[in-house]
Amino acid sequence: MAAAPTTPDFDALAVGDVVAERDVHLTRDSLVRYAGASGDFNPIHYRDDVAAAVGLPGVLAHGMLTMGLAVQPVVDWAGDPGRVADYQVRFTRPVVVAPEAGADVSVTAKVGQLDAEARAARIDLTVTFEGATVLGKAQVRVVLA
């Protein structure tokens, strides 16, 4: 069993600190797995013909899959998903998942703001695919009290 997670020290944080980074390789299998787990069976997430018919550049990752995986490095840094009090994103660009090559998504989590009274940090996520960001205003409020 893993060692008990430690809580980051709020007082040691500064705005701009990078607290976590992670690269995730998505494949079509990842999309099918997320479809089953979430119940979102929209065929644009697994059928090339349907994606093409509605004018998309290819099969897309579920926005909620991107949102879901992007917060995980923050959860691991915080040590406990229960410390995530608020999480919001705007879906700005699709992640196209090629049938063989898949898609590589990179997440960088930085301290955006510190609330000393609540001992809470706003962690801002930069989530990129093919060099461009895919989520806007991706913010996680983590309570470290």
Partner 1 sequence: MNPELQGRVFAPTAPYLVGREKVREFARAVFATNPVNLDVDAARAAGYDDVVAPPTFAVVVQEHTLAQLLAEPDAGIDFSRVVHGDQRFTSSRPIVAGDELTATLTVSGVKTLGAHSMVTAESVITDAAGAHVVTAISTLVVRGDD
Nearer to partner 1, 34 or 129 (CB): 34
64-82-9 Cα angle (round to 5)? 115
In terms of Cα–Cα distance, which of 101, 79, 70 is closest to 3? Answer: 79
Among 91, 110, 114, 133, binds partner 1 (CB under 8 A): 91
88 is an interface residue for partner 1 by CB under 8 A: yes
DSSP assigned state of 98:
B
Over the window 45 to 74, marking each residue x when it contacts partner 1 by CB under 8 A and - when it does not, the resulting string is: ---------x--------xxx-xxx-xx--
In terms of Cα–Cα distance, which of 134, 119, 9 is closest to 62? Answer: 134
Among 30, 95, 120, 144, binds partner 1 (CB under 8 A): 30
* CA 51 vs CA 47, 60, 63, 106: distances in Å: 6, 8, 15, 24
36 is an interface residue for partner 1 by CB under 8 A: yes
Among 19, 20, 51, 87, binds partner 1 (CB under 8 A): 87
C-alpha to C-alpha distance for 33 and 28, rounded to whole angstroms: 9
Give least dist CB 57 to partner 1, A.
14
122 is an interface residue for partner 1 by CB under 8 A: no
Pairing type for strands 120-129 and 132-133 reads: antiparallel
Nearer to partner 1, 86 or 115 (CB): 86
Residues 6+ apart with CB under 8 A from 24: 69, 104, 105, 106, 107
Residues near partner 1 (CB under 8 A)? 1-2, 4-5, 24, 30, 33-34, 36-40, 54, 63-65, 67-69, 71-72, 75-76, 80-82, 84-91, 137, 140
